[in-house]
Amino acid sequence: MTTQAEIKTKAPIDWVTTIFLLTYPLIGIFGTLYLYLYDSIHLATWGLFIFYFFATGMGITVGYHRLFSHKAYDAKTPVKLWLLLFGAAAFQSTALEWSEDHRIHHRFVDTDKDPYSIKKGFWFAHIGWLFRKRKYAQNGVQDLVNDPLVLWQHKHFYSISIFMCFILPGLISMLWGSFLEGMFVAGFLRLFVVHQFTFFINSACHVWGERTFSKEQTARDNWIIAFFTFGEGFHNFHHEFQSDYRNGIRWFDYDPSKWMIKGLSYLGLTYNLKKVSEDKILQKTMFLKEKETLHKFTNVSEDKLRNWEEQLEKLREKTLLEYQNWKQAKQTASESEAGVFRKNFEQTKENWEKLLNQPGEPLFS
Ligand SMILES: [Zn+2]
Ligand SMILES: [Zn+2]
C-alpha cells in the first residue's frame, strides 16, 4: 500500500508524455488499418517500416546507449549525426537526458535511485517510470554537454524528432504512394513497435535469463530477448562490463548493434572500439561457477568446504596464468609452440572442472 509520505515524495505526473504514450499507438494501429481496408499500402511502405525500425531502434542502442551513455567506441561526425537524427526519431527524449538516466541506472541499479528500477515492478521499469516528471541536473554527463552535436540535438529536439519520426517517412512514401502511408506505417506504427522493444531492455532484460557474469544485480542474458532488442538482450554481460562495445560476446550471438559498430570500423567511421580482456571474462565466470556450486553443499562441514574452495582457487589461478601464456605465445611463438601452451591451459581448466563437479572422496566423505 502507498503511504501518504510516499505520495508526497513521488514526482508529479508528466501529463504530456503520459497522454502521448497512451494515445499515439492508436493512431498507428487504426491509421494503418484504415489505409489497409479503405485505401492501399504499397509494399515499399513496409520496406520503409523495416528500414525505420532498424534505423531508429539502433539509433538508440548503437547511438544513445553504446556511444553516448557508455563511450564504448568513438564515431566520426557523419555517424554521430545519423545516430542523433534517427535516435530522435525513436522519440525517447534527447541523447543527453537519456544518457543521464542510463548512467544513473548503471550506478544505482536495483536501488531506489535507479530511475527504472525493476524492483518497482515489471511495468514500472517497462513504461511506468516515464509517466512521472524527471529532473535533469546534467550531473555525470559533462562530456556530452561539451559535445556540440549532442547539444544541438538537445536544443532542437522537438523539431528534429517530429520531422524525423513522422514527417520524413511521409515525404519518402510520396515517392510511390501517399504521405499518410509513410506517416502512419513507418511513423506511428513503427514507433509503437520500437518503443515496446527498446522498453524490454529495462523490463524483460532484468527479469528473464541467465546471470553468467554477475549475480550482484538483476540484469540477465537472454538470446530470445536479444532478438527483439537489437542485441541488448545480453544484459548481464553488459551490466558487468559496460564499456565493452559488444553485448553478445560470442561471434554467433545475435547482436546487430555490435555488428554495425564493427562494420563501420572497417570503413574508418567508428574507431577505438573497447573490449574487455578475455581473461577478465574467464576469471569472473569461473569464480561465479565456484560460488554457485559451493552453495549446493549444505551438509558438508565448513572446514571441508573451505579446503575445497582453496583448491579450486589455486586451479583457477593456474588456469588463468596458462591462458595468458597461451595468448602471449600466439603472438610471439610458432603455431606448434603456442599449441603446447593451449594444451596446458585446456588440461588445467579440465582439472578445475573435474574438481568443481566431483568434489572427491577425501574431502566430502
Ligand atoms: Zn539495465
Ligand atoms: Zn548500459
Sign for the CA dihedral angle at 112, 117, 121, 125 comes to positive
**Distance in angstroms (rounded) separating the CA atoms of residues 310 and 67:** 41
pLDDT above 70 as % of the chain: 96
Q: Long-range contacts for 343-346 (Cβ within 8 Å, ≥24 apart)?
A: 345/319
Ligand 1 center–CA 201 separation, angstroms: 7
**Could you tell me the distance, in angstroms and rounded to a whole number, from the CA of residue 363 to the centre of ligand 1?**
40
Instruction: Please list, in sequence order, all residues whose beta carbon lies within 8 angstroms of the beta carbon of residue 117, skipping any fewer than 6 positions away.
Output: 109, 110, 111, 124, 125
Over residues 181-194, the mean pLDDT reads 98
CA of 101 to the centre of ligand 1 (A): 11
Residues pairing with 270 in the sheet? 75
pLDDT (mean) for 49-55? 98
234: CA distance to ligand 2 center in Å?
A: 11
Mean local confidence (pLDDT), 115-119: 95
Per residue in 90-109, pLDDT tens?
999 999 999 999 999 999 99
Instruction: Kindly give the distance from the C-alpha atom of residue 351 to the centroid of ligand 1, in angstroms, as a whole number.
Output: 35
Q: How far is the CA of 109 from the centre of ligand 2 (A)?
A: 11
Q: Which ligand is nearest to the CA of 221?
A: 1
Cβ count within 10 A of residue 31: 18
289, with CB counted inside 10 A (0-12, 13-18, 19+), is: middle
Query: d(Cα 108, Cα 111) in Å, to the nearest integer?
Result: 6
Distance 281 CA to ligand 1 centre (A): 19
pLDDT of 9 over the 80 cut: no
- Would you state the cell numbers that stand for residue 291, as one nine-digit string? 560460488
pLDDT of res. 296 = 77
How many angstroms does the Cα of residue 197 sit away from the middle of ligand 2? Answer: 15
DSSP string, 316-356: HHHHHHHHHHHHHHHHHS-HHHHHHHHHHHHHHHHHHHHHH
Q: What does pLDDT average to over the chain?
A: 92
Confidence class for position 363, pLDDT limits 50, 70, 90: low
pLDDT tens figures, 293-328: 877 777 777 888 888 888 889 999 999 999 998 988
Q: How far is CA 203 from CA 163, 178, 235, in A?
A: 29, 37, 11
The pLDDT > 90 percentage for the chain reads 75
pLDDT in tens, 269-299: 999 999 999 889 999 999 888 888 877 777 7
Q: Is 74 left (phi over 0), alpha (psi -120 to 50) or beta?
A: beta
So where are the chain's domains? 4-271, 278-364
Alpha-carbon distance 238 to 245, whole Å?
Answer: 9
Whether residue 251 has pLDDT greater than 90: yes
Of residues 335 and 266, which shows the higher confidence score? 266
- How close is the Cα of 276 to the center of ligand 1, in Å? 18
CA 154 to chain centre: 22
* Distance between Cα 161 and ligand 1 center (Å): 25
Q: State the sign of the Cα–Cα–Cα–Cα dihedral 248, 250, 254, 256.
A: positive
Q: What pLDDT is attached to residue 336?
A: 84
What is the CA(142)–ligand 1 centre distance, in A?
22
Ligand lying nearest the CA atom of residue 207: 1
- The strand pairing partners of 303, in sequence order, are none
Cα 64 to ligand 2 centroid, rounded to whole Å: 10
| Ligand of minimum distance to the alpha carbon of 64 | 2
Quote the ligand 1 centre to 27 CA distance (angstroms).
30
The model's pLDDT over 230-242, given as tens digits with 9 standing for 90+, comes to 999 999 999 999 9
pLDDT higher at 145 or 357: 145
pLDDT tens for residues 122-180? Answer: 999 999 999 999 989 888 999 999 999 999 999 999 999 999 999 999 999 999 999 99
Whether 6 shows a pLDDT value over 60: the answer reads no
Q: How far is the CA of 308 from the centre of ligand 2 (A)?
A: 36
Alpha helices in the chain (DSSP H): 4-9, 15-38, 43-58, 77-88, 95-107, 122-126, 142-145, 148-155, 157-162, 168-173, 179-181, 190-202, 223-228, 235-240, 256-266, 278-294, 302-332, 335-357, 361-364
pLDDT at position 1, please?
45
Segment among 5-9, 187-191, 258-262 with least mean pLDDT: 5-9
Taking the centre of ligand 1 as the mean of its atom positions, its distance from the CA of residue 80, in whole angstroms, is 23
Residues with Cβ within 8 Å of residue 132, at least 6 apart in sequence: 10, 11, 12, 13, 14
State yes or no: pLDDT of 4 exceeds 60.
no
| pLDDT value at residue 295 | 78
CA 242 to ligand 1 centroid distance, Å = 10
Nearest to 191 by CA among 160, 173, 169: 169
pLDDT computed for residue 218 by the predictor: 95
